[in-house]
Amino acid sequence: MKTILIIGAGKSSKVLVDFLLKDSQAKDRKLILADVDVQEAEEKLGGHPAGTATGIDIHDSKRLGALVKEADLVVSMVPAFLHPLVAKVSLKEGKHFFSASYESPEMSALAGEIKQKGLFFLNECGLDPGIDHMSAMKLIDAEKEEGHDIVLFKSYCGGLLSPESESDNPWKYKFTWNPRNVVLAGQSTSRFIRNGRYKFIPYHMLFRRTDLVTFKEVGDFDGYANRDSLGYRKVYGLEGIPTIIRGTLRRAGFCKSWDVLVQLGMTDDSFEMDLPQDFTLRMFTNSFLPYDPVHRVEEKIIRLLPWVDSMIVEKLAWLGLFEDAPLPAFKGSPAKILQLILEERWKLSPADKDMVVMQHQLESVAVGGVRKKIVSSMIVHGESHEYTAMAKTVGLSLAAAVDLFLEGRIKATGLYLPTNKEIYLPILDVLAKNGIHFEEELIPLED
């Protein structure tokens, strides 16, 4: 019997757990789900006979070591900064390791010992990172095998609302994942290469320099550049490519409105405010504007940022930023206080459903100079508050990797991302069978 240890019973774990428990008895497997909240873990397992819930304090090294020792492989669903802690214990106990998070330098430093012990460690096997890597490499490898020269690669992904859940919200957005990451998005200079020229977008310009990205089924989106696209030239084997850009998607018009909050300083996380207890939402907004005894707050925003129109003012008003209601907190950075305001306004209702959209755009040149463009698009809709689009794309990717490894269909040893065929092809096949797939459009280009 094989034992799978999953540490963390958070948002994506229900999909992950259900997939791995589905055929667990037939495959002679058992699953241990460990979390600081044992009741939460028990609820995720749903009373399945092959599942056991247990409590854990991740910083209790003795308890963590004992749990890892029981398992054949470990799936880490803890916050990203804790993955190296779990990985080191897994390495010490000689257990395989899986996570959906970015591979940190601390994790990379373990590569030699992982290989030496004949273990398989897989990171970045979720949605983004994860499905983005796998689907990108499938496109890129296919073009290379045809002998084509890839000259452009753009990749965009977003976690958003499904269209039927957008009507009550002029932003057409609510939090479907980590709110803090949304508020602090882009707060370091974005780097990419376009037509052979290095390009850098500082934070204060990020939400003004967007690309229009269109999906036939669900419409138009703003795409803004992620922090570092340049590093993916090596990851994807595209070292000489003249254009590579990776970005995040929001509904068309979102970025222009969000930029107001950036320009005013409301997303600043570098200092702490200590405000009087009678401070209101309107006072909070006004604190970022010039002193003016004549003009109203709404008018001052337009005078300071002349490109702000009535639709943007309406969106700001919808967030409650002009109301005389109390602030949700009086201490904290502007970003933290803004996050608390947004968590109330952008909270998913019981009827809301989310959506994940991803699109790759690839241009290549064949022998003889024939150019073409491939647009590969994925749209995934959430089903419920547990089976969200985000949970499905993250949880199923990771579950498929674990299942395939235990089946012996992934035989690699060492520290990996899902960027080679042995890993990404079978995982993408499992995802497709579960409704997560890409539609490709081929567009011939004139010289």
Looking at the DSSP bridge assignments, the partners of residue 190 are 201
Residue 66 and residue 16 share a domain: yes
At 160, which helix (H) or strand (E)?
Answer: strand 149-161
Mean pLDDT calculated for residue range 357-378? 94
- Domain containing 31: what range? 2-123
* Residue 369: band (very low, low, confident or very high) from pLDDT cuts 50, 70, 90: confident
Tell whether 429 is covered by a domain.
no
Q: Assess whether pLDDT exceeds 90 at residue 142.
A: yes
Residue 354 and residue 325 share a domain: no
Q: What is the mean pLDDT of the chain?
A: 95
pLDDT digits (tens, 9 = 90+) for 71-86: 999 999 998 899 999 9
* Residue 445: band (very low, low, confident or very high) from pLDDT cuts 50, 70, 90: confident
Tell whether 166 is covered by a domain.
yes
* Residue 149: band (very low, low, confident or very high) from pLDDT cuts 50, 70, 90: very high
Boundary of a domain, candidates 101, 123, 145: 123
Tell whether 52 is covered by a domain.
yes
Q: At what angle do helices 61-70 and 83-93 cross, to 10 degrees?
A: 60
* pTM of the predicted model as reported, rounded to 2 decimal places: 0.94
pLDDT digits (tens, 9 = 90+) for 251-300: 999 999 999 999 999 999 999 999 999 999 999 999 999 999 899 999 99
Boundary of a domain, candidates 123, 158, 187: 123
Q: At a CB cut-off of 8 Å and minimum separation 6, what does 385 contact?
A: 348, 350
Tell whether 372 is covered by a domain.
yes
How high is the pLDDT of residue 447? Answer: 62
Q: Assess whether pLDDT exceeds 80 at residue 105.
A: yes
Q: What is the Cα–Cα distance from 315 to 257, expressed in whole angstroms?
A: 7
Encoded tokens for 62: 């003795």
Residue 198 and residue 56 share a domain: no
Residue 328 and residue 249 share a domain: no
How high is the pLDDT of residue 188? Answer: 87
3-state secondary structure of 3: strand
Q: What is the Cα–Cα distance from 283 to 286, expressed in whole angstroms?
A: 5
Q: Assess whether pLDDT exceeds 80 at residue 446.
A: no
CATH number at residue 117: 3.40.50.720
Our count of domains for the chain comes to 3
Q: Is the dihedral of CA 403, 407, 409, 411 positive or negative?
A: positive
Strands (E), 366-426: 371-381, 414-416
Residue 115 and residue 19 share a domain: yes
C-alpha dist (Å) from residue 165 to 122, 213, 348: 35, 20, 9
Mean pLDDT calculated for residue range 42-54? 95
Residue 183 and residue 315 share a domain: no
Which residue's entry shows tokens 């009535």?
A: 310
Q: At a CB cut-off of 8 Å and minimum separation 6, what does 188 contact?
A: 203, 227
Residue 107 and residue 6 share a domain: yes
pLDDT digits (tens, 9 = 90+) for 409-433: 999 999 999 999 999 999 999 999 9
As a whole-number percent, the residues of the chain with pLDDT over 70 amount to: 100
Q: What is the Cα–Cα distance from 358 to 135, expressed in whole angstroms?
A: 10
CATH number at residue 360: 3.30.360.10
Residue 69 and residue 13 share a domain: yes
Residue 328 and residue 248 share a domain: no
Listed range (105-114, 329-338, 367-376, 405-414) with the worst mean pLDDT: 367-376
Mean pLDDT calculated for residue range 190-205? 96
Read off the DSSP letter of residue 214: E
Q: What is the Cα–Cα distance from 387 to 378, expressed in whole angstroms?
A: 17
Boundary of a domain, candidates 62, 90, 123: 123
Residue 40 and residue 86 share a domain: yes
Encoded tokens for 407: 């089946």
Encoded tokens for 33: 């789900």
Q: What is the Cα–Cα distance from 329 to 337, expressed in whole angstroms?
A: 6
3-state secondary structure of 51: strand
Residue environment code for 128-162, b if the CB has 16+ CB neighbours within 10 A, otherwise e:
bbbbbbbbbbbbbbebeeeebebbbbbbbbbbbbb
How high is the pLDDT of residue 321? Answer: 98
Tell whether 419 is covered by a domain.
no
Tell whether 309 is covered by a domain.
yes
Tell whether 400 is covered by a domain.
no
Residue 302 and residue 161 share a domain: no
pLDDT digits (tens, 9 = 90+) for 319-357: 999 999 999 999 999 999 999 999 999 999 999 999 999
Encoded tokens for 424: 């990404």
Tell whether 344 is covered by a domain.
no
How high is the pLDDT of residue 289? Answer: 97
Of residues 11 and 4, more confidently modeled: 4
Encoded tokens for 55: 């409590």
Residue 230 and residue 154 share a domain: yes
